Structures are given as structure tokens and as C-alpha cells.
Amino acid sequence: MRKIQMVDLQSQYQRIKPEIDAAWQNIMESCAFINGPAVKQFQSDLEQYLHVKHVIPCGNGTEAIQVALMALDLQPGDEVITTTFTFIATAEVIALLRLTPVLVDVNPDTYNIDIQAVEKAITAKTKAVVPVHLFGQCADMEPLLQLAEKHHLHVVEDACQAIGAQYTFADGATKMAGTMGIMGCTSFFPSKNLGCYGDGGAIFTNDDAMAAKLRGIVNHGMFVRYYHDMVGVNSRLDSLQAAVLDVKLKYLNQYIQSRQKAAAYYDEAFGENPHLIIPAKGKNTTHVFHQYTMRLQQTDRQKLVEYMAQQQIPVMIYYPVPLHMQKAYRDERYRQGDFPVSEQLCNEVISLPMHTELDEEQLQYISSHLLRAVQMFSL
Ligand SMILES: *Cc1c(COP(=O)(O)O)cnc(C)c1O
């Protein structure tokens, strides 16, 4: 049996090695490392895949969210609502821009932003909402977009974990994760569903003026060469990464299917176990399973994770601490107990190996050991 990893990038590379190697060789020969044709090609291929007018490549997912928020011309002290159960990057850039992150709880089934909690958190200072499509399925965007419209709020989607997920509106229209708000952001970090071989990210928008602004901001606030109209940043996707991404984009739907197949295996193995709550599928969204994250009930999580590690099965905890309990983000506004669902999730979740290369033998090995561990360490 192949070694079990949370993400198996080596095996994935071996399958597409000739294409990737040739693509890299091309860039090396051309030496067009920055803003070369490979970046333009990937950009337009991704626009087609997402059915979005503009893809603005940038340096990573964190910068994508930062640049998106910079484009909104918010003022220090303006409030931006996001969830307390997410990766830190979402709130980090809000704080870095001297905006005020306002945290809200999540839905206990989908782990995604609770729309009613968003409504309660809106004040006169609220300017934007950043829903996170956590673990690979879309937040409930239709009611969120309606709420945002009513209160004149910008919606910037953090789609770093959900590229390729599709949301269906009540009228039957479907849209891809990251293309529903005024802007959407994604990450091409190697372990993400569409990952490059280094750092990368992108912003999506259907708004022409916003796209022009974003392209200026990622390039030092420069709209005409050497004329700088606003304070920008330097945030670029390089050609080598774009070339990898353009190869992998062709396989993205296939990769998503492999992940969904692995998830279906886990669902089947764990669905009936009273100690395990398998991830719920949101009503109107597909799930691309960036992570397979479930909840343990009355089970010693620490011992379970240790046991799994002894069997050479990595099990991760995404995420152990909600943002409002992180040292850097603690302030007088929040205390333990304020976001009970997120706090409970932080105590209960485990994420199993999830990637495009899991085979039946590995899935069987993981599942049987997990079931054994649950039995041994139930409380
Ligand atoms: C990965 C991730 C980011 C940041 O992406 P980087 O490319 O690592 O900067 C932001 N938000 C979420 C939810 C993520 O999973």
C-alpha cells in the first residue's frame, strides 16, 4: 500500500509529469517568468471554466482577499463581517487594513456562515461580508446576497477551499464559487483543490471597473506606467505557476470527482456510527471536498489522533481554535462562549486524508482503523 498522506501531490504529479515538465521547459526557454503569455493563457482558461468575466491572478489567497478589500475603498474602523470558524487569513487581512473584523458563528451542519447571525451583526458601520466556502461547499449565498443588498453591503467570497463548487439559486441558475459576490478570492497553494507548485492566488469579478482597479492594485497601484494613483501592493502569479495551473485546470473536474468518490466511501463507512457525524451537504451547493471534516461525539479525540498516527494515518484538526479565541484577535468584544457552535466544532472536528489519489485499499485501511479507534476511545 502506498504511504497515506493528507494530500498526495507526488502521485498526482507522476500522472501528469510529461505535461508539467514540458510546460515548465517552455517557460525556461522563453525566460518570460513574470506576466508572460502563460499567465494570460491561464487567466483566460480560468475565466471560461468559471463563467466569470475577469480573473485577476495574484501572489496567494491571502493577498487576493487583501486586494479585494483594498478595492472597496473602506475606511479604518469600517466593519467587515466574517466567520470565527475559518483559516486565519480571512480575518488577518481585515485587521491589517485597519478595518474591524466582526465575527459570527456558523451553521452546525455545514460549518458555513450563519446568515441569521450575519443579520444580527450588521451595524451602521458594516460595509462588507466575507463568507468562506469552508472545506469545499458554498455558504448559503442566495439569502446572504439578499441580505447584503438590503443593507448595501459588499460581498467578497473567500473561495480558497472551494474552486469548482457550484451553487444553485431558487430560479435554477447555477454559479461557481467565487463568482456570486462583487468579488471572489481563491488560493492556488499546493494542497488546495487547484494547487500550483509554489504560491499563487486569484480574484474573480464580473465588474469591469472593479477588474481594472484590481489589476492596478496588484501592480503597485499603477494604472498608467509609473503613475501611481493609489497605494497598492506587489502581488503576482508567476509564469511557472500559471503553466502548472493551466495543465491542472484541465483535470479539475476529474480531481473533484476523485475527491467526491473518496468522500462517498467515508460517508458509507461512517454514516451509521453514533460517534461520528459525517459532513452534511448544503442544500443548494455541490461539495468539492477540499477537506473531509467530521465531528466526533463522546470520543477522546487526542487519543484517537495518536492511535491513527501510530497506524501511519495522518488525521488533522481544522481548526482547533476559533478566531475569537486566538491570541492576536482577542479583544474586549468577545469571550469564550460567544460562538458556541464554532467552539464546539473546534473541540469535535477531525479531518481525514483527502486528495485525488486515494485508492480503495487506502480508504479501507483508514476507515477500519478509524472505526476501531472510535470504539476504543469512546467515552
Ligand atoms: C488557504 C486559505 C487562504 C489563504 O490562501 P494562501 O494562498 O495560503 O494565502 C485563505 N482562506 C482560506 C479559507 C484558506 O483555506
The β-bridge partners of 82 are 103, 130
Measured distance CA(199)–CA(214) in Å, rounded: 19
Question: Are 62 and 56 spatial neighbours (Cβ–Cβ below 8 Å)?
Answer: no
Joined grid coordinates for residue 362: 487506502
What's the chain's average pLDDT? 97
Q: pLDDT by residue (tens digit) across 197-224?
A: 999 999 999 999 999 999 999 999 999 9
Please name the residues in contact with 294: beta carbons below 8 A apart, sequence gap of 6 or more: 266, 270, 276, 277, 278, 279, 349, 350, 352
Listed residue (284, 351, 70) closest to 185, CA to CA: 70
Q: pLDDT by residue (tens digit) across 33-75?
A: 999 999 999 999 999 999 999 999 999 999 999 999 999 999 9
The rounded Å distance from CA 65 to ligand 1 centre is 9
The rounded Å distance from CA 103 to ligand 1 centre is 18
Taking every pair of Cα atoms in the chain, the longest distance, rounded to a whole number of angstroms, is 66
Give 283's pLDDT tier (boundaries 50, 70, 90): confident
The rounded Å distance from CA 86 to ligand 1 centre is 9
Listed residue (4, 12, 35, 2) closest to 190, CA to CA: 12
Joined grid coordinates for residue 197: 507548485
Give 331's pLDDT tier (boundaries 50, 70, 90): confident
Pocket of ligand 1 (CB under 6 A): 60-62, 86-87, 89-90, 132, 158, 160-161, 187, 189, 201
Measured distance CA(376)–CA(349) in Å, rounded: 18
Q: Is 195 left (phi over 0), alpha (psi -120 to 50) or beta?
A: beta
The β-bridge partners of 204 are 55, 184
Question: Could you tell me how far CA 186 lies from the centroid of its own chain?
Answer: 7
The rounded Å distance from CA 377 to ligand 1 centre is 33
Q: From the CA of 201, give the closest atom in ligand 1.
A: 7
Helix-strand-coil split of the chain, %, nearest 5: 40, 20, 40
Pocket test for ligand 1, best of 58, 87, 96, 218 (most atoms within 8 A of CB): 87
Measured distance CA(177)–CA(290) in Å, rounded: 13
The rounded Å distance from CA 248 to ligand 1 centre is 19
Look at the chain and count its residues: 379
Listed residue (157, 167, 232, 247) closest to 202, CA to CA: 157
Q: Which residue has the cell 510529461?
A: 18
Q: Which residue has the cell 487594513?
A: 97
Q: Which residue has the cell 447555477?
A: 174
Q: Is 209 left (phi over 0), alpha (psi -120 to 50) or beta?
A: alpha
Q: pLDDT by residue (tens digit) across 127-183?
A: 999 999 999 999 999 999 999 999 999 999 999 999 999 999 999 999 999 999 999
Q: Say if residue 79 is exposed, middle or buried (CB neighbours under 10 Å; 0-12, 13-18, 19+).
A: buried
The domains found in the chain, sorted by start residue, are 9-249 (3.40.640.10), 252-377 (3.90.1150.10)
Rounded to two decimals, the pTM is 0.98
Pocket test for ligand 1, best of 160, 241, 288, 289 (most atoms within 8 A of CB): 160
Give the DSSP H or E segment for 242: helix 239-250
Pairing of strands 154-158, 183-187: parallel
Q: pLDDT by residue (tens digit) across 102-111?
A: 999 999 999 9
Residue-level pLDDT at 234: 98
Beta carbons within 10 angstroms of residue 170's beta carbon: 8
Averaged over 104-123, what is the pLDDT?
98
Percentage above 70 pLDDT, the chain: 100
Q: pLDDT by residue (tens digit) across 82-99?
A: 999 999 999 999 999 999
Residue-level pLDDT at 330: 87
Joined grid coordinates for residue 36: 508572460
Among protein residues, the one with the nearest Cα to ligand 1's atom 5 is 61
